[in-house]
Structure 1
Amino acid sequence: MPPQGPPPQEYSRVILIIVLFFFFWTSPEQGQPGFSAHDYAAERSVQTRHKLDVLNATRWQDFSPKGPNKTGYEVSRYLNLTGFREDDGFIWDRLYAFKKRAAMFRDAIRGESGRAPLEGKQGQHSYVYENITGVVRGRWVRQTNDLVGSETHRPLNLSAISPGIDWAYQSEDNWTRNVTGQEGKLMLRIEEKDVLGDKASKTPKSETEEAPGKEIREVKATMTIQDESSSGDGYEMRLHGVHWPKTGSLLMTTTSEKFAGIFGLPHLAHSVREFETSKMLLNGTLEKVVEKMENSQWFNQANPWSSTPDAQGDGIFPQPHCEYVVYVQVDLPGLDLLALPGDHAKMLEQIERELRYPNGAPLPAVPNLGMSAVIFSPDCGFMLESKGPPDYSRKLHNHLVGSKQEIWLHDIHNWLLMYGAVLFGQIILLKFQSKDASTPSIVGRVSLYTIAMMLMVDGFIFSALSLLSATAPNIFPSALIASFAALMSVALGVRFTGAVYRVQEPERIERLRAELAAEVARRPFLPALPIITPPSAGNSLTHTAVSGPILTAAGADIASPAPPQPAATPPIIIPSDQDIDAEIAGNVNAASTVQIPTQIAPLLPTTNRPQLTPQIRPISNFGAIYVKFVLTLTLFLFLSLSAISWPVPLRTAYIHFISLLYLSFWLPQIRRNVIRNCRKALLWKFIIGQSVLRLLPFAYFYLKADNMLFSEPDWRAFAFYVGWIWIQIWVLVAQEILGPRWGLPNKWMDEGWDYHPVLREDNVEAGGLPIGLVQNSSSSTLKRSEKNNSPGTRSIDCAICMQILEVPVIASGAEAGSSGVVGMLARRQYMVTPCRHVFHSTCLEGWMRFRLQCPICRENLPPL
């Protein structure tokens, strides 16, 4: 049977959806009577076409505003473009000073090169970089030398400048990008089209004709200006303009609804040649953009020359901001390159071509990319310039310095691979520590929060590197490798954290028991319930009834005498005195949640009836802790992303606080050593290695000036972090040598057992000497010991290794002969258990790694 087609009503649904879509698209938007997105886009296309026609119809010097270079008889001329009209009120009086400062920077570069002009004869190579795609940064300073008095600002009427535009707000106090400081930071990220490929490969028709892209090129840039008045990383804006590669000059501007910067840009040039070439280039590029706008009126209402990066701030409701005109002069390459023999300009072009299309050709060290810049805001009226010669010493301030994009990406690749190696080192150390902590005795000493803090940061690094590998295709391989290493570190850390959590579960149960016992002590006695005690020391299972508050393994409290009722009440299991962690866990697992028997529940007062919730679970689900970890990490991620837009002092304080909190990961281990009175919890190679490896990223960002995040070096903060880690390590060393509670008052906690006591003969009656050292005076063992050993020592066989152990014992009535560090080191050779058995320190420590019981009498031992 042939397949049947869809029912007829399916076609009706499709037609109905198309009709509804067309209706909603062409109808005016709700809340704005008479407004249509299509009409708005069509009107913007018409206005853009008009601006392009004005550019095509104008000639050199058609825009010649008032300024100090104008005499009283010269006529000022303006353009019929938004922002270039005289009635708009822009402060074009400082345009002459702007061009004068730009010419000064250009002449300074030519004077240093000794070659005027820079491009030499037609057809020769340039002495500066022709492709300037890269990142440069430096400092800027406010320029007021051309002013008589202070800066003035004219109030602007946005409704008159751009009628028909619904601005988000009109008040000039809310304008963004209004730089009010005297000095700050400046960064330029320049993007230039690839002209060394297809265009450069074309052969000119004649010797006098330039190859395509050799005279002028289109360029885009993202400029970030930061001062004390800005928040976050400063004011960031998108610039569009042109680049003359032979002279190394760039002219860029912002464009918005109140400033047609890209259409009037040729009239801001310095010479007729620059005006003609820029006008010819923009006529072709702008024509393509305008045609695209006219063809996409139904779908795209965005401004193609928006100055808001990564967002269309010049949409239907644009936000007013200060406009910018920027002149950039590319600096000469390093002196090392100029000192090379041969044609320096040709060598520079070969370096650029090798960077763009690497073939493995041997080349000298690639010089840095240097620039100088002059910035002018025609509506806000201020002028800035990069800090450097001739007003400032080149050794202190050298304008804007950076590197080409290829070098910058290559450095990021290398640093990400190196960080991947650091993460791999952390994995190896964590693996060694996990292998060492293979028994519950050792795992119980490890602080859960120390490992969790490291795991938290590794999870954050994994999230950041994963996002970087997904959004930055240029560095995808190295970012992916580092992200994978971070993932392995997180996976191993989660496994080790889960092991620590499970082993320390009985400890948390005991703590909860104590809390419930304290709660029971404050309540009236209840009728007793039967208590089932496990067999201990050969005794059989007993079934007794007790009075008074009883804390069971399941966490219930029972009290008051009553006859046993094994058939009517649930049993409550109490572990014996010989029980260990495994036995506790097994008994608790076997115990069910205690419920109040129905026959005695009505007898209890309502107000005093014990609440047996929350129930004590034998082993809590690690998933709950994992969820808390994920939520905390998510909160930290959102808080860190929000901190990007904070003011600089507040953001810096947040970074220092988070860094100091992260680098305090040994504090929880120090605290646990004190609480459990244990000394050897972690391997020393784990402690030293993790400290060094986790400080390396801080060293990169705090000591390296040209790091990938462009953060300012701060060696004082890094020295403080190193000192803080160093202090924590020395506290751990002191805890192992002098004792976990060394230097703490005894009243702060219960006194713990000392495995290395001072042994004295006068403590025999008090049971102070260990078993085996107390011998009858007629014993042959004691006589042999006194004969073969030096005075003050006694010998005993270690029950673990079966070797002789010499123990220093102070004679009765004598003072301690060895004190201080010498005596302390002598006492470290033996260990005495609470059951008064003595062993080699290494033997008993090895035994206690597997079992916290005396090898002789099986008594429980305090943790080491």
Structure 2
Amino acid sequence: MREANTSSTRSRISFYSISLLALGDGFAGITFLFVGLAVRGLWINLIATAFLAFLSVMFFGMRFLLDIWTAQAPERAIRAREEAEEERQRQERFRATLERLRAEQLQREAASAETPDSPVTAVAQPAADIDTLAPPPAHIDTASADSAPPSLPLPVTAQRPTDTGAAAVFMPSDQEGLVAAQTGTGNQIAADVDTSTTSFGSIYIRFYLVLFATLFMTLNAISWPTGLRRAYFTILALISLSFWVPQISRNVQRNCRKALTLEFVIGQSLLRLVPFIYFYAYKGNVLFADRQPYILIALAAWLWIQVVLLASQEFIGPRWFIRNDWAPPAYDYHPILREDEEGATMPLGLSEPTSNSAPTSPLLERRASLSSPMTRRGSIAKEAKGKGKRVYNCAICFQDLEVPVIEAGGSSDTTVAGILARRSYMPLFGGLDEV
């Protein structure tokens, strides 16, 4: 919570990962409470641990979840508007398809009525039907046809109103409560989606409902047959140790990294693996559970796979293990700079050596570095250019940064060293975080 004290950091953290961590603390606290009631000798120790677990959940975990929920409110609003727009477009496509099918059906009916199979059918046709097929008089417009009594049906050739799909906007005199409604088949889609429908209060209630439902299911599973009970506890352990999966998914979706510190990830992984080691590997555990080392190895391997993926997302990239079209497009904060592309329009703040400032000997170079800052910058730029880099002056911290630039005609460096070299800078205002 101390490290994630800004809105930008909280927006990168997965809400569901912290929820799983808080659920694990709450489940552990209630379990300690029940075990303390059963084992009198461990009453003080388990009750104190249960109190600390509840304190962690109620005052710290839920508070942190509230901060994350508040920081991610604009993102949910944008996603809700996109879903509403997709729903509106889907309904428009459905109505357009329905209108096209109706028009085709009317054309088929009109064609079959105008070309009868035999003259007898045409003579036997009722007069009312023939009148409906006849075109309306020239002096009768559509408005008069619409105002006709209900007993007289409209002609087949009469022009019918079409839905253009335009939204009707109603603006009051005080310009408050602006509503943009879409006219349709009885359903109106509001353009301004109310994001307060799922408030944090409902999330708070759902959290404790899931916690107590899992607890009662676990207490009931103790009396199940051995095979079914073992499968239930294995699935429950697998779900409880999958708390880094939502964070990995969020890093991929937002193309962000450094959401959680490695100390926090490794520390939480080790601490939450300890109870499973106790119950699955220690024979004399308090619940007299059977030793299951193979299941323990599988659970530990699954957890550390998540840790390795999180670490690789921070150093290599959030989307290195998936295809580009599997995730929504995102801005690349560490682009590959090429000399042929940057030569014509070099960024502002480039420090290039000039003929007047470049020293010609080590002695002159040292004197120049002590006397003139501009000459020293030119020497640094000349040295960096020999390493395949260029020196840029950061507009925020006013420091010279060496940025790797690929030479004209060269191929991009896709090795781990090349990727980490690009991580040392970030264009525009992102450079403040890196420096």
2:392 paired with 1:784: no
**1:70-81 aligned within 5 A:** none
Label 1:813 to 1:522 Cα distance change in 2 as closer, same or farther (>3 A).
same
In structure 1, the partner of 2:26 is: 459
Q: Find 2:81's aligned residue among 513, 516, 521.
A: 513
CA distance in 2 between counterparts of 1:806 and 1:777 reads 18
**1:495-514 aligned within 5 A:** 495-514=63-82
**1:817-828 aligned within 5 A:** 819-828=414-423
**1:706-725 aligned within 5 A:** 706-725=284-303
| Aligned 8 A contact 2:316 2:420 in 1 | no
Label 1:515 to 1:495 Cα distance change in 2 as closer, same or farther (>3 A).
same
Task: Give 1:513 deviation, angstroms.
Answer: 0.6
Label 1:787 to 1:523 Cα distance change in 2 as closer, same or farther (>3 A).
same
**1:299-318 aligned within 5 A:** none
| Aligned 8 A contact 1:764 1:774 in 2 | no
In structure 2, the partner of 1:567 is: 173
CA offset digits 1:606-656 (Å, max 9, x no partner): 725514399513585311001111111122122112211211011101111
2:418 paired with 1:829: no
Aligned length: 345
CA offset digits 1:798-832 (Å, max 9, x no partner): 2232211122223333445x552232222222112
In structure 2, the partner of 1:494 is: 62
In structure 2, the partner of 1:484 is: 51
CA distance in 2 between counterparts of 1:720 and 1:693 reads 17
Task: Give 1:703 deviation, angstroms.
Answer: 1.4
In structure 1, the partner of 2:138 is: none
CA offset digits 1:151-186 (Å, max 9, x no partner): xxxxxxxxxxxxxxxxxxxxxxxxxxxxxxxxxxxx
Counterpart AA for 1:485: L
CA distance in 1 between counterparts of 2:264 and 2:19 reads 15
Counterpart AA for 2:47: L
Q: Find 1:703's aligned residue among 274, 281, 292.
A: 281
Task: Give 1:710 deviation, angstroms.
Answer: 0.9
CA distance in 2 between counterparts of 1:487 and 1:465 reads 11
2:411 paired with 1:844: no
Task: Give 1:752 deviation, angstroms.
Answer: 2.2
Which blocks of at least 5 consecutive residues in structure 2 are unaligned? 94-163, 358-373
Q: Highest relative contact order (Cα 8 Å, sep 6+), 1 or 2? A: 2
| Aligned 8 A contact 1:458 1:490 in 2 | yes
2:362 paired with 1:795: no
Label 1:619 to 1:523 Cα distance change in 2 as closer, same or farther (>3 A).
closer
SS of the residue 1:795 aligns to: strand
In structure 1, the partner of 2:237 is: 659
Label 1:524 to 1:740 Cα distance change in 2 as closer, same or farther (>3 A).
closer
2:28 paired with 1:439: no
| Aligned 8 A contact 2:76 2:195 in 1 | no
CA distance in 2 between counterparts of 1:778 and 1:752 reads 42
**What TM-score do you get using the length of structure 2 for normalisation?**
0.70
Counterpart AA for 1:567: S
Which blocks of at least 5 consecutive residues in structure 1 are unaligned? 1-433, 526-547, 550-557, 573-593, 597-603, 847-864
In structure 1, the partner of 2:160 is: none
| Aligned 8 A contact 2:242 2:303 in 1 | yes
| Aligned 8 A contact 1:450 1:665 in 2 | yes
| Aligned 8 A contact 1:798 1:838 in 2 | no
CA offset digits 1:704-759 (Å, max 9, x no partner): 11111111111111111111111111111111111000021111123322222221
Q: Determine what percentage of the aligned residue pairs are the same residue.
A: 39
SS of the residue 2:391 aligns to: strand
Label 1:649 to 1:471 Cα distance change in 2 as closer, same or farther (>3 A).
closer
CA distance in 2 between counterparts of 1:676 and 1:661 reads 24
| Aligned 8 A contact 2:28 2:53 in 1 | yes
CA distance in 1 between counterparts of 2:66 and 2:430 reads 35
In structure 1, the partner of 2:266 is: 688
CA distance in 1 between counterparts of 2:218 and 2:327 reads 39
| Aligned 8 A contact 1:771 1:838 in 2 | no
CA distance in 1 between counterparts of 2:351 and 2:285 reads 69
CA offset digits 1:493-524 (Å, max 9, x no partner): 11111111111111111100101112233456
Q: Find 2:327's aligned residue among 746, 749, 760.
A: 749
CA distance in 2 between counterparts of 1:706 and 1:838 reads 54
2:342 paired with 1:764: yes
Task: Give 1:777 deviation, angstroms.
Answer: 8.8
| Aligned 8 A contact 1:450 1:668 in 2 | yes
CA offset digits 1:404-447 (Å, max 9, x no partner): xxxxxxxxxxxxxxxxxxxxxxxxxxxxxx10000011011111
Instruction: State which structure, 1 or 2, has the greater radius of gyration over its C-alpha atoms.
Output: 1
CA distance in 2 between counterparts of 1:610 and 1:740 reads 39
Counterpart AA for 2:173: A
| Aligned 8 A contact 2:10 2:68 in 1 | yes
In structure 1, the partner of 2:406 is: 810
**What TM-score do you get using the length of structure 1 for normalisation?**
0.37
CA offset digits 1:13-61 (Å, max 9, x no partner): xxxxxxxxxxxxxxxxxxxxxxxxxxxxxxxxxxxxxxxxxxxxxxxxx
SS of the residue 2:322 aligns to: coil
| Aligned 8 A contact 2:14 2:247 in 1 | yes
Higher share of residues assigned helix: 2
CA distance in 2 between counterparts of 1:775 and 1:517 reads 50
CA distance in 2 between counterparts of 1:667 and 1:524 reads 37
CA offset digits 1:279-338 (Å, max 9, x no partner): xxxxxxxxxxxxxxxxxxxxxxxxxxxxxxxxxxxxxxxxxxxxxxxxxxxxxxxxxxxx
Label 1:523 to 1:777 Cα distance change in 2 as closer, same or farther (>3 A).
farther
**1:366-765 aligned within 5 A:** 434-470=1-37, 472-491=39-58, 492-522=60-90, 559=167, 567=173, 570=176, 572=178, 594=179, 607-612=185-190, 616-617=194-195, 620-764=198-342
CA offset digits 1:772-800 (Å, max 9, x no partner): 34989999889936545442332222223
CA distance in 1 between counterparts of 2:355 and 2:231 reads 75
Task: Give 1:472 deviation, angstroms.
Answer: 4.8
Counterpart AA for 2:27: F
CA distance in 2 between counterparts of 1:452 and 1:795 reads 45
| Aligned 8 A contact 2:389 2:404 in 1 | yes
Counterpart AA for 2:56: S
SS of the residue 2:401 aligns to: strand
CA offset digits 1:170-211 (Å, max 9, x no partner): xxxxxxxxxxxxxxxxxxxxxxxxxxxxxxxxxxxxxxxxxx
SS of the residue 2:426 aligns to: strand
